[in-house]
């Protein structure tokens, strides 16, 4: 559990820092189009896109670990206790496996960027596209972690029930 809290804390801090950087670059971009600054900066559009991709990549992993993704709960609102825990465990493992399945496509997408440079900053797009791979792998591991925690909770719940019945 200490590892999870450390990882979520780092991810949350990175999310906030990236969000502040993103807002700062957008404000600079807007100010560059007014008479307040002598000229518009050509690199702000690219940096905004890169920061946005990084923000989504990091925040999506954090959202899985905090269990904060939006869900339609028409069905799950009727579930309670052990059944809800089993349902959530299955969902976490299915999503984790699906995201692991997508990793080869993420690698292929990342390698496509190896032949491209961003027009303004001349950054190899492989690094930018690797954020998609980071997001896929991170969310897959987070879902598998959450599913495993649910399985442990189910096991502990069954042990407590057996102990109370004896």
| 166: pLDDT strictly greater than 60 | no
Of 21-25, 86-90, 117-121, 123-127, give the range with the top mean pLDDT.
21-25
Tell me the domain boundaries of the chain: 2-165
Burial of 14 (0-12, 13-18, 19+ CB in 10 A): middle
pLDDT of residue 51: 95
57's CB contacts (< 8 A; 6+ apart) are 131, 132, 134, 135, 138
| 72: pLDDT strictly greater than 80 | no
pLDDT of residue 32: 87
């Amino acid at each position: 559990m200490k590892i999870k809290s450390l990882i979520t804390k780092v991810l949350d801090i990175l999310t906030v820092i990236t969000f502040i950087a993103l807002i700062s670059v957008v404000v600079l971009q807007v100010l560059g189009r007014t008479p307040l600054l002598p000229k518009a900066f050509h690199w702000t559009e690219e940096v905004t896109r890169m920061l946005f991709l990084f923000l989504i990549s990091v925040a999506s992993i954090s959202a899985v670990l905090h269990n904060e993704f939006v869900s339609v709960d028409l069905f799950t609102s009727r579930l309670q206790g052990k059944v809800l825990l089993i349902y959530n465990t299955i969902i976490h493992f299915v999503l984790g496996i699906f995201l692991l399945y997508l990793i080869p496509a993420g690698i292929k997408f990342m390698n496509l960027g190896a032949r491209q440079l961003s027009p303004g900053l001349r950054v190899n797009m492989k690094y930018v596209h690797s954020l998609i791979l980071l997001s896929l792998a991170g969310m897959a591991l987070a879902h598998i972690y959450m599913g495993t925690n649910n399985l442990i909770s189910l096991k502990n719940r069954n042990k407590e029930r057996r102990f109370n019945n004896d």
